[in-house]
Chains A and B, each alone.
Chain A
């Protein structure tokens, strides 16, 4: 058990792509850290750098205070669970679990003892004689975790381990992963693009985009105080609605909506409103509001999602893209998603008015995307 840290780590691939740019991040002993970001953002490369499956172009990686940047994977004392599990197909579950211990010349009775403990903990006792091909997806997943944990590594690395499971199993395994972590308290780095996994599993999240670290913090902190427009849009489901806005003298105007936001400098900015921060109001209500034309209604039981348009301009979440932050056409209507009470009976084509919950509005710099609100 130990902490893992990146100090200004950069990884360039021979083709010229830079997968990880100047990453500095410390994962303290026993923490469950999530690396989250869209596909191709460099999160898996970051994990493989810790494992030693890739070597850093520059920077330092330490595990338990020891510099491991140039050590081979076997000398780092870490364990990894792969997206496709990578169980050895020609070995029984028992031999899969024991392989890492046998490679390290652990005495046979100690191997047997640890395999027995691990298989009891993960409920694999019945399966020890089977081959991976004879197991279900969830069972393979458990064997893969068992194989990693049985060695009691310093750090436990997981690369999108739940993405090959069906939805129900994924929820079960998520809870099981959390239980295992609470029991073993082992430093864990978990890569995912699924922000539900990121929110539910992690002690802290590190949001990565384009190879760069965007924000690190507890899930609630990242959700409530996104550092920039990318994080705001990426964390949260459905994503935050973004509107082009203009600020002057502490008031921010986006289409027909006007909200008071102190500390926002005058000039163009991006206004962010989470789908759950909007609610229906009566037409004669005087609170600041928006006209909303419903296009699609998705009832989810307890709540419903309404997708539609408001008058105003949409803004893009990725300031680093070539496209301008604001949608080009000034006449365009902005697409907005609203999360409402499931008991409402709304229909496509209806026109309603929405108000914004006070204090639940975010503003971001139009050029850099950095948050302007605390």
Chain B
């Protein structure tokens, strides 16, 4: 008796007769036909800004743009650096980014661990309320935030940039979801071993959360480094401005010095580019983790 009859089939499968679904071997994937033009389109603004940064002021004004300049003016970079306090801008941006990264890592971890593992009355309600604030656009809270920062006496200072951004709901959410995925037995073992709540967080949970902490750090660094609106609102002294705000000073009400603006922009993106090249793996992972696009 054939085995096939068990299944109610009276003849065996003819494997030869089935259509051949094996992929044919092309030197490239069909996706490349779509991805290569898309990458070119994404790269164009960057290439354009680098080219503009090397042109004369008059070429930079021209439309359609001059994409093959007759001469390269590297002195634009020196002029841009000298015409505004770029040293201050870099220091301010660095302080702003580093402090908000550190603050988010610390405070978001603490809050996220509480929401993930500590059972307390109303924890779910508070967590949902926090998530709801993610949907509130920043423009809505600009004025209350401004008033609070003014009360703290931090208007027109780097401190005023940092304090409202020390802990974000996004970071709490991201870390909580990751903490929930860690095996609870590790924490139970640590409790039995005598570790306190904070001990468990700092000695067990955080060391195991390196990938997600790197993700949060990268996202927060990018966000702070590129932030323009909040600095625009509270910073008035050029010496206290971070890079993105400083760059806007090339844009006068009548004349914009495009070549210098682009030279400054390219300089401002060098640290971001360095971070990206250094942490490319985590960048890609971080976007996969969060499922969001920056």
Quick check: A100 and B194 within 8 Å, CB to CB? yes
Chain B interface mostly:
helix
Residues 183 to 233 of chain B near chain A (Cβ within 8 Å) = 183, 185-186, 188-196, 199, 203-204, 207-208
C-alpha spacing A84/B185, complex, angstroms: 8
Q: Which of B188, B195, B203 contacts A82 (CB 8 A)?
A: B188
C-alpha spacing A72/B187, complex, angstroms: 13
Quick check: A86 and B183 within 8 Å, CB to CB? yes
Quick check: B208 and A99 within 8 Å, CB to CB? no
Q: For residue B194, which residues in chain A have a CB less than 8 angstroms away from its CB?
A: 74, 100, 103-104
With contacts A84-B183, A86-B186 known, is A79 near B192, CB below 8 A? yes
Quick check: B195 and A103 within 8 Å, CB to CB? yes
Residues 279 to 330 of chain A near chain B (Cβ within 8 Å) = none
Smallest CB gap from B191: residue in A: A73
Quick check: B189 and A103 within 8 Å, CB to CB? no
Q: For residue B191, which residues in chain A have a CB less than 8 angstroms away from its CB?
A: 52-53, 72-74
Q: Does any Cβ of B come within 8 Å of A89's Cβ?
A: yes
Q: Does any Cβ of B come within 8 Å of A51's Cβ?
A: yes
Smallest CB gap from B206: residue in A: A90
With contacts A84-B183, A86-B186, A88-B186 known, is A74 near B192, CB below 8 A? yes
C-alpha spacing A104/B195, complex, angstroms: 8
Quick check: B192 and A89 within 8 Å, CB to CB? no
Q: Which of B185, B186, B188, B193 contacts A103 (CB 8 A)?
A: B193
CB of A359 to closest CB in B, whole Å: 47
Smallest CB gap from B204: residue in A: A88
C-alpha spacing A100/B185, complex, angstroms: 15
Q: Bits for B250-276, please: 1 = Cβ < 8 Å to A, else 0.
A: 000000000000000000000000000
Q: For residue B193, which residues in chain A have a CB less than 8 angstroms away from its CB?
A: 74, 79, 99-100, 103, 147, 151
Q: Which residues of A contact B (CB under 8 A)?
A: 51-53, 72-74, 78-80, 82, 84, 86, 88-90, 99-100, 103-104, 147, 151
The 10 residue pairs across chains A and B that have the minimum distance between CB atoms: A100-B193, A86-B185, A103-B194, A86-B189, A74-B194, A90-B207, A73-B191, A73-B192, A82-B185, A104-B194
Q: Which residues of B contact A (CB under 8 A)?
A: 183, 185-186, 188-196, 199, 203-204, 207-208
